[in-house]
């Protein structure tokens, strides 16, 4: 009996390892999603942009700021590195429910240079455990519209909204603001918004040469 239990545990451990290795290397098929890239921030540490480009990353979205008070310390280096490597690149602002939209727009505009070659900017909408504010939907949409207009005025391009599932379930962003949606969903295309998505974070577990640890691997709808 003990031998059988031991064998069972060993098989379970082997299966778990195989699944982990599969998950960390998985990406959607290029035939289905030809354009694929990643999201990066200072959380990922130093990035070897030349290696990333050689590994098949077509583009990178680079965190510029979070809320109104915090600028990503690696933004400038990552922005410059992606451009030098010949990748397409864009900036991301992580929205905070605890700060005024105008202040967050100011932080973004003083961090991200105007760059005609850059991709459209992204505003990420996700709950932050450090911020407990949960304004009503009307107020949230009003603030978000203010932020969208200010960021678009600075960038000269229409923003994308990267909306987490729980955030969208609470505020129904897809029906409240007419902007391109970028949704999340490990391994399976997401279906939680009221409108079709154009970008999808297909995995937040992927490991790729050129960057330490897991990254958010993103694809563009064909």
CATH number of the domain bearing residue 79: 3.20.20.80
* Residues 178-222: tens digit of each pLDDT: 999 999 999 999 999 999 999 999 999 999 999 988 999 999 999
pLDDT for position 103: 97
For residues 202, 204, 207, 208, the Cα torsion angle rounded to the nearest 10 degrees is 60
pLDDT for position 115: 95
pLDDT for position 3: 56
The beta-carbon contacts of 26-30 under 8 Å, at least 24 apart in sequence, are 26/187, 26/203, 26/205, 26/206, 27/202, 27/203, 27/206, 27/217, 27/219, 28/202, 28/219, 30/56
**Number of compact structural domains in the chain:** 1
Q: Above pLDDT 70, what percent of the chain?
A: 90
What is the sign, positive or negative, of the torsion defined by CA atoms of 1, 19, 127, 111?
Answer: positive
Q: What's the domain range around 145? A: 2-220
- Is the pLDDT at 105 greater than 70? The verdict is yes
Q: Please state the pTM of the whole predicted model.
A: 0.89
């Amino acid at each position: 009996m003990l031998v059988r239990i031991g064998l069972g545990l060993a098989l379970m451990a082997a299966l778990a390892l195989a699944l982990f290795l599969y998950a960390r290397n998985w990406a959607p098929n290029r035939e289905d999603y030809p354009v694929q890239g990643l999201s990066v921030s200072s959380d990922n540490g130093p990035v070897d942009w030349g290696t990333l480009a050689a590994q098949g990353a077509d583009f990178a979205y680079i965190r510029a700021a979070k809320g109104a008070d915090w600028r990503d310390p690696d933004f400038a280096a990552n922005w410059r590195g992606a451009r030098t490597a010949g990748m397409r690149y864009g900036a991301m602002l992580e929205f905070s429910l605890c700060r005024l939209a105008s202040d967050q727009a100011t932080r973004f505009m003083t961090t991200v240079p105007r760059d005609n070659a850059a991709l459209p900017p992204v505003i990420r909408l996700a709950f932050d455990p450090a911020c407990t504010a949960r304004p009503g939907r009307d107020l949230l949409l009003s603030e978000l519209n203010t932020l969208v207009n200010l960021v678009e005025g600075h960038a000269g391009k229409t923003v994308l909204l990267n909306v987490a599932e729980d955030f969208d379930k609470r505020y129904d962003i897809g029906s409240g603001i007419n902007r391109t949606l970028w949704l999340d969903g490990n391994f399976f295309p997401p279906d939680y918004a009221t409108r079709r998505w154009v970008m999808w974070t297909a995995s937040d577990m992927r490991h790729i040469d050129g960057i330490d640890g897991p990254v958010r691997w993103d694809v563009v709808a064909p």
